[in-house]
Every structure is written in C-alpha cells, then in structure tokens.
C-alpha cells in the first residue's frame, strides 16, 4: 500500500482502511485518526504515570533525608484521617513509630480494629525499611552520626567526640558528682553549629528532681558566645511529678519533635520517682516493668528522631562482707533493666575541689577509660592545672 499511511506500522488500521475505502474516503480518514491516536494516548498516560511515580519517589527520598516521616503520610496509602488522628493521640506521630510498634500496642488504641491494624502496618512497612542492610551501608550511616561536645576536650577525647546522638547515654554517680551540671552544659552545646561540636538543634529537659536552673544556661551560653535569650527559648522544660506523668511527657515530646529539630533529650533523673512511687520488694516487678517501658519509649525517640538521649541515675550503697575492709561500694539503681537499655554508661565521681572524674563503664565502641574535668561558672570545662 502506498500513500501517507504506508509509514504507519499498524496492521489492524491498514485492514480497516482497505475495507472502509470502498464505502467512502471521509469515513476512512475519521477511522484512521482514531486508530492512530490510540497509541499516542496510551503513551501519554504512561508518561504521566511515570512522572507521578518519580515525583512521589523524589518526595519520599527528600523527606527521609530531612528526618522521620510524619504519620500523615499514611493517608496516601489509604489510611483514613480519623485513624491517623487516633495514632497521634496515642503518641505515634511518625510513620517510623508506627512501623516500630508491636501489633498488640496498635490493637490497644481505641477505635483501631484488627483489620485496620493490618492495613496500617502494611502501609507503614512500605515506607520504612525494616529488612536487612549491608554492614558497609550501616558503616556509612554511622559516619554521619553527630557527637555533641561535653564542654571538656579531655572528656570529649575519651568519648571520641562527645555524647552520641541516636542512642541513650546514662550518667550515674553520687550526690554532687556533676551529673546535672553536665546536663546543663549539654543543653547549651547542642545548640552550637556542627563545626563547633554542636548538634544545631534544640534541647528537651524532663526534670524529676527540681534541680534545673535557667540562670546556669545563661552563664554557660556567655562562654560560647551565644545569645542567652535564644538559648533559653531553645530549651523545652517540663517538671515530672510521678512515674506516670514522666511517661506521658514522652508522648508530648514526640509530637514536638515532629514539628521542629531537637538534638538532645535529657531526663534528670530517670529513676528518682521510681524510688518513691514503688516501694518494697512486693512492687519490684511492677517497678521494673514500668521502667522498662519508659526506657523503651526513650530509645524509640532516639531511633526515630536521631536525638541524643541523656539520662541521669542515682546510686545505692552495696553493703556486703567486703565493705568491712574496703567500705561500701556504690551501684546504680534500676538493675539489669537500666544496664541493658543504656548504650553508653558513664560513672561520675567527685575529685579534689571542683574536679570530677568520668569513667566509661560500658559501651559498644568506647574503651574503658577515665577523664578529668572541672565544674565552673562556665559549666563543664577542662581541669586548669
């Protein structure tokens, strides 16, 4: 067949052209236009679909680079807005928090049925990688972890840069060992730029002992050349009055971390209220279970938002047979629950004058070593010989 239609490779269209040509050229042209336009329409639809998929992929990658995914992202997977509100009311403000939660915890949320839980879990697992990855990829990710300076070069050297973000660091020691003063210093240094050892983020402080003092932050801020008013504005403070209240504050903390960048989360002290709310061996099991859930919630905040979680812990005297000759030994309270929950455990003790000593007790990567530092008006500093 010759003519303009010989260039088109549509066999069915050519057959129609020959058959229709007997009845009239006007009808032939109309059918040819329809036949030729169909492949073009399909191609255009495929291009639009591919462009939409590429845009969604780029948006997902961009959000993953900037932090956790807001739980509202589940709406794109067909989760109703009312169900998302129920998740947020339960403290699940990110897709990660939903993906990390046990199924039974989701079933406890009022108004979320068994079928809805399956749909929510499936949607969250598609957005959050929960499978295996290579050690090389994990190594590359850990190279990007931020360390927050303690204010002392000697202490930072032992900690290989400072307090690690994305994990729990426990500080324990006797009264006046420097735990709270180190926490005050970290509230300021976490606001420093990255090139100065900071975290470029805000701090959150849960105070269970009533020892937080804003004027200390002003003194420490002056040392680092920061505006005192801005430093205070960047610290979210809450007083905890009982263990249940202390746990509820973590739900509020999660919703705040979705809205703005936090680099540090401090609980001073994580165990003080447990010593008064639970008494005697009869409540020991209940205390440990409650403490374990609280520490698990802290770890979830560290995992989801990459914040450095710093908790202080009290100690008790361990009196046994050896105490007759060497004196009573001290040990942190909380037992194995606290020991296993803490990624890094640091023991603080008092030295001469304002000198303090920090010892690395346990860590997956730090050597067991000691560092001397000093408590001054400027916070935690190096010892001045």
**Distances, alpha carbon 105 to alpha carbons 71, 182, 198, 280, 355, in Å:** 16, 35, 36, 29, 46
98 CB-near residues (< 8 Å, 6+ apart): 71, 74, 87, 92, 106, 120, 121, 124
| Domain limit, last residue, from 64, 81, 104 | 64
Burial degree of 148 (CB within 10 A; 0-12, 13-18, 19+): buried
Contact status, residue 274 vs residue 228, Cβ threshold 8 Å: no
Task: Write out the H or E segment, with its range, that includes residue 303.
Answer: helix 284-305
**CATH number for position 110:** 1.10.150.20
Do 58 and 98 have their domain in common? no
Does residue 132 lie within any of the structural domains? Answer: no
Q: Same structural domain for residues 94 and 211?
A: no
Domain boundary (39, 64, 89) is at 64
Question: Number of structural domains, the chain?
Answer: 3
Rg of the chain in Å (alpha carbons) = 30
The pLDDT tens digits for 206-242 are: 999 999 999 999 999 999 999 999 999 999 999 999 9
Same domain, 10 and 103: no
Q: Which of 257-271, 322-336, 351-365 has the lowest mean pLDDT?
A: 322-336
Q: How far apart are CA 364 and CA 344, in angstroms?
A: 7
Residue 265 domain-assigned (yes or no)? yes
Give domain status of residue 100, yes or no. Answer: yes
pTM above 0.95, yes or no: no
- Give the pLDDT mean for 316-335: 74
| CATH number (domain holding residue 249) | 3.40.50.300
Exposure string for 162-190, b = 16+ CB within 10 A, e = fewer? bbbbbbbbbbbbeeebbbbbbbbbbbbbb
CB of 214 within 8 A of CB of 53?
Answer: no
Same domain, 22 and 166: no
300 and 254 co-located in one domain: yes
Q: Give kind and range of the element (H or E) at residue 164.
A: strand 163-164
Q: How many CB atoms are located within 10 Å of the residue 270 CB?
A: 31
Q: Indicate if 88 and 172 belong to the same structural domain.
A: no
Is the same domain home to 316 and 183? yes
Domain interval for residue 216: 142-381
Instruction: Give 120-151 as a DSSP string.
Output: HHHHHHHHS--S---HHHHHHHHTT--EE--S
295 and 204 co-located in one domain: yes
Distance CA(265)–CA(278), nearest Å, equals 25
356 strand-pairing partners: 350, 373
Region 369-376 average pLDDT? 96
**Residue of 319, 308, 314 whose CA lies nearest to 291:** 314
User: What is the CA angle 21-23-25, rounded to 5?
Assistant: 50
Calculate mean pLDDT across residues 79-104: 93
In a domain, 136, yes or no: no
The 10s digit of each residue's pLDDT in 342-365 is 999 999 999 998 899 999 999 999
Residue 171 and residue 295 in one domain: yes
Confirm whether 133 is domain-assigned: no
181 and 328 in a single domain? The answer is yes
Sheet with 235-239: list strands edge to edge.
Answer: 235-239, 202-207, 262-268, 308-313, 168-173, 344-350, 355-362, 370-376, 379-381
- Residue-wise pLDDT for 33-72, tens only, equals 434 344 444 456 666 666 655 554 454 444 445 578 999 9
Is 135 inside any structural domain? no
Pair 258, 339 in one domain = yes
Residue after which a domain boundary falls, among 49, 64, 79? 64
**Nearest-angstrom CA–CA distance, 363 and 369:** 11
Task: Write down the pLDDT at residue 53.
Answer: 56
Q: For residues 54 and 104, state if they share a domain.
A: no
pLDDT band for position 101 (50/70/90)?
A: very high
């Amino acid at each position: 067949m010759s003519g303009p239609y010989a260039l088109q490779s549509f066999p069915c269209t050519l057959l129609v052209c020959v058959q229709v040509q007997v009845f009239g050229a006007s009808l032939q042209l109309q059918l040819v236009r329809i036949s030729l336009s169909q492949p073009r329409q399909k191609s255009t639809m495929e291009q639009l679909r591919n462009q939409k998929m590429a845009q969604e992929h780029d948006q997902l990658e961009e959000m993953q680079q900037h932090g956790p995914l807001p739980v509202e992202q589940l709406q794109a997977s067909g989760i109703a807005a009312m169900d998302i509100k129920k998740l947020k009311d339960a403290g699940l403000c990110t897709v990660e928090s939903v993906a990390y939660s046990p199924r039974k915890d989701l079933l406890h949320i009022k108004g979320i049925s068994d079928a809805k839980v399956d749909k929510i879990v499936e949607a969250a697992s598609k957005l959050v990688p929960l499978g295996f990855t290579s050690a090389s990829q994990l190594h590359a990710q850990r190279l990007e972890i931020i360390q927050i300076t303690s204010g002392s070069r000697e202490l930072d050297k032992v900690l290989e840069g400072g307090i690690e973000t994305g994990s729990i660091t426990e500080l324990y020691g006797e009264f006046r060992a420097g735990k709270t003063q180190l926490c005050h210093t970290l509230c300021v240094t976490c606001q420093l730029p990255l090139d100065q050892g900071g975290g470029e983020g805000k701090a959150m402080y849960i105070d269970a002992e009533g020892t937080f003092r804003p004027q200390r932050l002003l003194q420490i801020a002056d040392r680092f050349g920061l505006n005192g008013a801005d430093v205070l504005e960047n610290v979210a403070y809450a007083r905890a009055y009982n263990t249940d209240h202390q746990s509820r504050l973590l739900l509020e903390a999660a919703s705040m971390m979705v809205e703005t960048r936090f680099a540090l989360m401090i609980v001073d002290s994580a165990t003080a209220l447990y010593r008064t709310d639970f008494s005697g061996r009869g409540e020991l099991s209940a205390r440990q279970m409650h403490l374990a859930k609280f520490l698990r919630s802290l770890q979830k905040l560290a995992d989801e938002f990459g914040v450095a979680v710093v908790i202080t812990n009290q100690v008790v005297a361990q009196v046994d047979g050896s105490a007759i000759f060497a004196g009573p030994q001290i040990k942190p309270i909380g037992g194995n629950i606290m020991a296993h929950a803490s990624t890094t455990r640091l023991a603080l003790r008092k030295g001469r004058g304002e000198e303090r000593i920090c010892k690395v007790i346990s860590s997956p990567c730090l050597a067991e070593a000691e560092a001397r530092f000093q408590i001054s008006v400027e916070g935690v500093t190096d010892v001045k010989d």
